[in-house]
């Protein structure tokens, strides 16, 4: 026996001293025999701690076992049992016992050949069992791996399907958070997406978990901006925050306690990095290799979906905005006006519409050139947009005409705003080749009172007729369907509005 190796265990049950000595002599130093005299047997502790190769059981000792002890040894699959017969007993009398779990039977006297034959057969059976056990384990492992791969494929299929269901980045990220929680325990998901603005500086949109306190929101905002600057190679010039939807039973996201709780994953598509996804994971065991691969594959699909959403948003903005003035165009105005009219009819709120026209615009083009005319159009659009509420809607109606939708605005309030816009434009100075000049606008205002039912075309016609009246009366003034608004009326309305 090799030094340091423990001897193979062999047990005896009811062996005489001579039989035990014969077995020990036949096995040699590589084996150790432990024998229980007649009337004794291995207990639960013995069965739990040892792994004998063979149990040599004398028939009389085996028969003397209690049914419970015999059943325990019969069901114990660690050792092979060999029945030891006296010279007077015949092997043919014990066929039924052999069929019930005994490896073989040997008769006394126990010679070296008989003992070694038993050990050889037991080793063969053990080797066969070991091979079967190993193959079974391999099959079970392969089945488990196949099941895991199947689950991950189904996960990826679900993830990809839900990622492409919408072109709204908020919806995409909400779905991604819900799906990724099946892959790893998470406390939150946040993201930053950026794109270059008109001047080339980076403009970012942050997507944050809802219901955070002020300190947590500041922490995550700084973390997202820091990750974005690191990946983009320069800081974000500006950003705006959007909050994801929150589950009713979900706790507000807090400030993480360690860096190990954060997984930052770049969002790349078409060879460009345009964002970063941050997973705030719950403490737990490390991800397996297949889970890590699935996570990266999921983020790859997510990046494509978010990129498509961003491109769709850019296309929609270009489709809805006038290329020269950067405000909404006629098509977007028509769609918005229908929406506001429906809202007006449903809730009965007041609503107004302004139509502006730059006076003598053709002479501006003729005198100063079309480039200056384009500059005037852009400035007028900018002046109007800067003096409106976020709920108001400005559009270039065509040529030198602009329109403004004013929800929740009475006719009196629209007159005040119209006069202020007229005055702000009249006070703006332009310069062409060192020569300053100014412009004026004529404005027509129309309003819907609560409960009034007008079609889109009718409201536009009312504003257009008011604009025509303003031009007819000399331009550079505001008119409504009731007639022109004098400067004195505007001052009085302004005071009333302030009061």
Task: Give first-to-last CA distance, the chain, whole Å.
Answer: 108
Whether 241 contacts 221, CB under 8 Å: yes
Contacts of 386 (CB under 8 A, 6+ apart): none
Alpha-carbon radius of gyration of the chain = 44
CA dist 379 and 430 (Å) reads 10
Closest CA to 359 of 316, 402, 407, 314: 402
Q: What is the DSSP letter of 200?
A: S
Is residue 34 within 8 A of residue 12, CB to CB? The reply is yes
DSSP state of 7: P
Catalytic residue chosen out of the listed positions 400, 411, 412, 419:
400
* Rounded (5°) CA angle 336-341-342: 100
Provide the β-strand partners of residue 444: 355, 479
Length of the chain: 499
Quote the CA–CA distance of 479 and 209 in Å, as a whole number: 49
Q: CB-side exposure of 267: number of CA atoms within 13 Å?
A: 26
Spatial distance between the Cα atoms of 293 and 301, rounded to a whole number of angstroms = 13
Please say if 203 is a catalytic residue. no
3-state secondary structure of 124: helix
Catalytic residues, by residue number, are: 400
């Amino acid at each position: 026996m090799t030094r340091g190796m423990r001897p193979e265990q062999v047990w005896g049950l009811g062996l005489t001293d001579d039989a035990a000595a014969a077995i020990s002599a036949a096995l040699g130093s590589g084996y150790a025999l432990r024998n229980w005299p007649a009337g004794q047997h291995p207990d639960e502790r013995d069965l739990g701690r040892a792994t004998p190769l063979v149990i040599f059981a004398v028939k009389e000792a085996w028969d003397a076992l209690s049914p419970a002890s015999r059943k325990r040894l019969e069901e114990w699959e660690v050792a092979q049992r060999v029945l030891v017969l006296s010279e007077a007993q015949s092997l043919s009398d014990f066929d039924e016992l052999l069929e019930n779990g005994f490896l073989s039977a040997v008769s006394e006297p126990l010679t070296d050949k008989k003992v070694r034959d038993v050990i050889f057969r037991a080793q063969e059976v053990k080797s066969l069992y070991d091979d079967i056990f190993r193959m079974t384990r391999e099959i079970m492992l392969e089945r488990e791996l196949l099941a895991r791969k199947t689950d991950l494929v189904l996960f990826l299929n679900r993830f990809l399907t839900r990622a492409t269901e919408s072109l709204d980045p908020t919806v995409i990220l909400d779905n991604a958070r819900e799906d990724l929680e099946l892959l790893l325990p998470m406390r939150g998901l946040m993201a930053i997406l950026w794109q270059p603005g008109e001047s080339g500086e980076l403009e970012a949109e942050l997507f944050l978990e809802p219901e955070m306190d002020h300190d947590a929101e500041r922490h995550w905002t700084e973390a997202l901006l820091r990750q974005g600057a690191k990946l983009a190679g320069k800081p974000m010039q500006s950003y705006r925050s959007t909050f994801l939807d929150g589950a009713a039973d979900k706790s507000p996201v807090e400030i993480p306690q360690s860096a190990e709780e954060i997984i930052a994953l770049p969002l790349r598509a078409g060879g460009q990095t345009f964002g970063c996804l941050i997973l705030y994971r719950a403490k737990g065991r490390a991800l397996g290799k297949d889970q890590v691969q699935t996570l990266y594959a999921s983020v790859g699909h997510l990046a494509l979906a978010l990129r498509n959403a961003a491109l769709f948003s850019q296309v929609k903005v270009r489709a809805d905005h006038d290329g020269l003035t950067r405000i909404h165009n006629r098509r977007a105005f028509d769609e918005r006006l229908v929406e506001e009219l429906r809202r007006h009819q449903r809730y009965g709120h007041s609503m107004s519409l302004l139509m502006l026209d730059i006076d003598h615009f053709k002479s501006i083009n003729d005198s100063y050139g079309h480039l200056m005319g384009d500059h005037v159009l852009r400035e007028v659009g900018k002046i109007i947009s800067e003096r409106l509420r976020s709920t108001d809607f400005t559009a270039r109606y065509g040529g030198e005409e602009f329109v403004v939708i004013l929800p929740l605005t009475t006719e009196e309030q629209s007159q005040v705003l119209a006069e202020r816009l007229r005055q702000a434009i009249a006070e703006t100075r332009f310069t062409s080749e060192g020569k300053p000049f100014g412009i004026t606008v004529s404005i027509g205002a129309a309003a819907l009172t609560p409960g009034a039912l007008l079609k889109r075309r009718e409201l536009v016609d009312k504003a257009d007729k008011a604009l025509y009246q303003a031009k007819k009366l000399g331009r550079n003034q505001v008119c409504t369907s009731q007639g022109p608004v004098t400067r004195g009326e505007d001052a009085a309305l302004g005071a009333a509005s302030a009061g």
